[in-house]
Amino acid sequence: MNTEQKIKKVLEEAVTSLTGKPYSAGKILLQETRKEFEGDLTVVVFPLVKEIRKSPVEIGKLLGDYLVSHLSEIDRYNVVNGFLNLVFTGSYWVDFLNCVNNDTNYGMLKSGDKKETVVIEYSSPNTNKPLHLGHIRNNLIGYSLSRIMAADGYKVVKTNIVNDRGIHICKSMLAWQKWGNGITPEKAGKKGDFLVGDFYVRFEKEYRLQVQEMMNRGASKEEAVKNAPLLLEAQGMLRRWEAGDPEVIRIWKMMNQWVYDGFDVTYKNLGVDFDKIYYESDTYRIGKQIVLDALEKGLVYKKEDGSVWADLREDGLDEKLLLRADGTAVYMTQDLGTATLRYEDYHFSRHIYVVGNEQNYHFQVLKIVLKKLGYEWADRLMHLSYGMVELPEGKMKSREGKVVDADDLIAGMIETAREMGKELGKLDALADNEKDEVFRKIGLGALKYFILKIDPKKNIVFNPQESIDFNGNTGPFIQYTYARICSVFRKGEERGIAVPEKLAENYLPNEKETLLIRLLAKFPRVRKDAAASYNPALVANYTYEVAKAFNQFYHDYSILNEENADVRNLRLVMTRKTGEVLYHAMYLLGIEMPERM
Q: What confidence score (pLDDT) does residue 141 get?
A: 98
- Partner residues linked to 351 by β-bridges: 119, 381
CA angle (9 as vertex; 5, 14 as ends), nearest 5 = 145
CB 64 within 8 A of CB 36: no
Q: Which of 543, 553, 552 is nearest to 482 (CA)?
A: 543
Q: What confidence score (pLDDT) does residue 396 get?
A: 44
Residues 119-142 have pLDDT tens digits of: 999 999 999 999 999 899 999 999
Q: Strand (E) positions, 19-80?
A: 30-32, 41-44, 74-80
> For the whole prediction, is pTM greater than 0.85?
yes
Whole-angstrom distance, CA of residue 245 vs CA of residue 236:
11
Looking at CATH, the fold of the domain delimited by 441-588 is given as Isoleucyl-tRNA Synthetase; Domain 1 (1.10.730)
- Partner residues linked to 17 by β-bridges: none
- How confident is the model over 218-243, as a mean pLDDT? 95
Q: Given CA atoms 4, 9, 10, 12 in this order, what sign does their dihedral have?
A: positive
Whole-angstrom distance, CA of residue 126 vs CA of residue 124:
7
pLDDT band at 398 (very low <50, low <70, confident <90, very high): very low
- Partner residues linked to 352 by β-bridges: 120, 382
pLDDT of 63 over the 80 cut:
yes
Looking at CATH, the fold of the domain delimited by 3-88 is given as Gyrase A; domain 2 (3.30.1360)
pLDDT band at 327 (very low <50, low <70, confident <90, very high): confident
- The residue among 503 and 327 whose pLDDT is bigger is 503
- The residue among 395 and 7 whose pLDDT is bigger is 7
Q: Pairing mode, if any, of strands 276-279 and 389-390?
A: unpaired
Q: Given CA atoms 557, 558, 559, 562 in this order, what sign does their dihedral have?
A: negative
Q: Per-residue b/e over 317-338, b at no fewer than 16 CB within 10 Å?
A: eeebebbbeeebbbbbbbbbbb
pLDDT band at 26 (very low <50, low <70, confident <90, very high): confident
Whole-angstrom distance, CA of residue 291 vs CA of residue 287:
6
What does the mean pLDDT of the chain come to?
Answer: 94
Count of other CB atoms within 10 angstroms of residue 24: 10
Q: Indicate the CATH number of 122-400 among 3.40.50.2300, 3.90.1170.50, 3.40.50.620, 4.10.410.60.
A: 3.40.50.620
Whole-angstrom distance, CA of residue 319 vs CA of residue 203:
31
Q: What confidence score (pLDDT) does residue 394 get?
A: 54
Instruction: Specify the DSSP element, H or E, that contains 386.
Output: strand 381-386
CB 562 within 8 A of CB 492: no
pLDDT band at 188 (very low <50, low <70, confident <90, very high): very high
Contacts for 292 with CB less than 8 Å, ≥ 6 apart: 308
Domain edges within the chain: 3-88, 122-400, 441-588
- Partner residues linked to 385 by β-bridges: 355
